[in-house]
Amino acid sequence: MAPDRSVAEEYLRREVIAAALLRRADETGGYVSRDELKAFMLPDGSVERLVDPGGGGIWNPSGYIATLAIVTSPDGPYPDREIEGGLLQYSYQKGPEGGKNLKLRRAMELGLPVIRFNKVGPNAYLPIYPVFVIEDNPISREFTLTVDDVLRSIPVGHELTPMERAYAARVVQQRVHQPAFRARVMLAYGGLCAVCTLKHPKLLDAAHIIEDGQPGGDPVVTNGLSLCKIHHAAYDRQFMGISPDYVVHINTDLLLETDGPMLRHGLQEMHGRALTTPTRRQDRPDPARLEQRFARFQAAN
């Protein structure tokens, strides 16, 4: 067993691991596979295991003073729930009294950030970092987590003002929900544009069919489309529509224009093309939502 590092060394090590993880996730559209996490290669060539081989939610590698990473899975044994103030509750891992939870408590005491892996698919984990443990609730057997440095400084239980509440909601939206939506959409579409099949996740967005905040605008895969930047913008500005039968339509005026290759190949030639949809039927775009959105495209044309 390796000797424990100092807290400062351990903090730095976490920063290095997290930076490499986030870079890797950026290449795929937001997730890292479980196989990669079992032996994750760091920039200095060293290899680090980032998940518990036993499948537990809390990963305490030997030589580490405190928990390095936790897994949350919406359908697994370690779900977490959101409470007011942009905070997340994380259940104790079952097992002997204390057990693996002791080192997560240690992360709280030392102020060491942990990596949170959100399971977004059978073999896909979205990394979020830094995540801080700010409270331990032995009665409900839960830890309270925050993804934000500012929220970390607000005492738990403090009644938030409407402005603070709006800030907390926005932080969770940006740091937790939006990345999870993106990762799930990228995963469903295999990292390609549903319109032109451009296969480059760094040039792709997870577009909403019904906009966020509108009724039906939930961050679910069936309300999403994987679109390249140009097709996302064209969709949002009504230059392009997608009918409920999964066919691409280009604005009539745009079809009649003459311009360079981007207009011709990138837009005009997409007219009438069949949308490339996810392999899994349950991930395909919801026709009712497409219809609602398509009506707006038709009205604008």
Q: Does 231 bind Zn ion (CB under 5 A)?
A: yes
Grouping H, G, I as helix, E, B as strand and the rest as coil, residue 274 is: strand
Whose Cβ is closer to Zn ion: residue 218's or residue 236's?
236
**d(C-alpha 81, C-alpha 145), whole Å:** 10
Q: Report the nearest approach of Zn ion to the CB of residue 193 (Å).
A: 3
Residue 211 per-residue DSSP state:
P
Q: Does 234 bind Zn ion (CB under 5 A)?
A: no
Helix (H) or strand (E) holding 33: strand 32-33
* Tokens (6 digits) for 274: 């069949």
Q: Does 232 bind Zn ion (CB under 5 A)?
A: no
Nearest to 58 by CA among 94, 97, 25, 33: 94
Whose Cβ is closer to Zn ion: residue 10's or residue 205's?
205
The string of DSSP codes covering 70-93 is EEE-TTSS--EEEETTTEEEEEPP
Q: Report the nearest approach of Zn ion to the CB of residue 249 (Å).
A: 14
**d(C-alpha 107, C-alpha 7), whole Å:** 10
Whose Cβ is closer to Zn ion: residue 118's or residue 226's?
226
* Tokens (6 digits) for 193: 């544009």
Q: Does 131 bind Zn ion (CB under 5 A)?
A: no
CB count within 10 Å of CB 150 equals: 12
**d(C-alpha 183, C-alpha 220), whole Å:** 11
Helix (H) or strand (E) holding 146: strand 142-146
Q: Does 186 bind Zn ion (CB under 5 A)?
A: no
Residue 235 per-residue DSSP state:
H
Is 186:29 a contact under the CB 8 Å cutoff? Answer: yes
Grouping H, G, I as helix, E, B as strand and the rest as coil, residue 14 is: helix
Whose Cβ is closer to Zn ion: residue 187's or residue 198's?
198
Q: Report the nearest approach of Zn ion to the CB of residue 40 (Å).
A: 31
Q: 55: exposed, middle or buried (C-beta count within 10 Å: 0-12, 13-18, 19+)?
A: exposed
Q: Report the nearest approach of Zn ion to the CB of residue 211 (Å).
A: 19
What residues between 189 and 228 interact with Zn ion by CB under 5 A?
A: 193, 195-196, 198, 228
The size of the interface with Zn ion (CB under 5 A), counted in residues, is 6
Q: Does 242 bind Zn ion (CB under 5 A)?
A: no
What residues between 250 and 289 interact with Zn ion by CB under 5 A?
A: none
Whose Cβ is closer to Zn ion: residue 67's or residue 226's?
226
Q: Report the nearest approach of Zn ion to the CB of residue 262 (Å).
A: 11
Question: Binding mask 4-43 vs Zn ion (x if CB under 5 A, - otherwise)?
Answer: ----------------------------------------
Q: Report the nearest approach of Zn ion to the CB of residue 247 (Å).
A: 15
Q: Report the nearest approach of Zn ion to the CB of residue 207 (Å).
A: 10
- What residue type is 244 in one-letter code? P
Whose Cβ is closer to Zn ion: residue 188's or residue 193's?
193
Whose Cβ is closer to Zn ion: residue 57's or residue 191's?
191
Residues in contact with Zn ion by CB under 5 A are 193, 195-196, 198, 228, 231
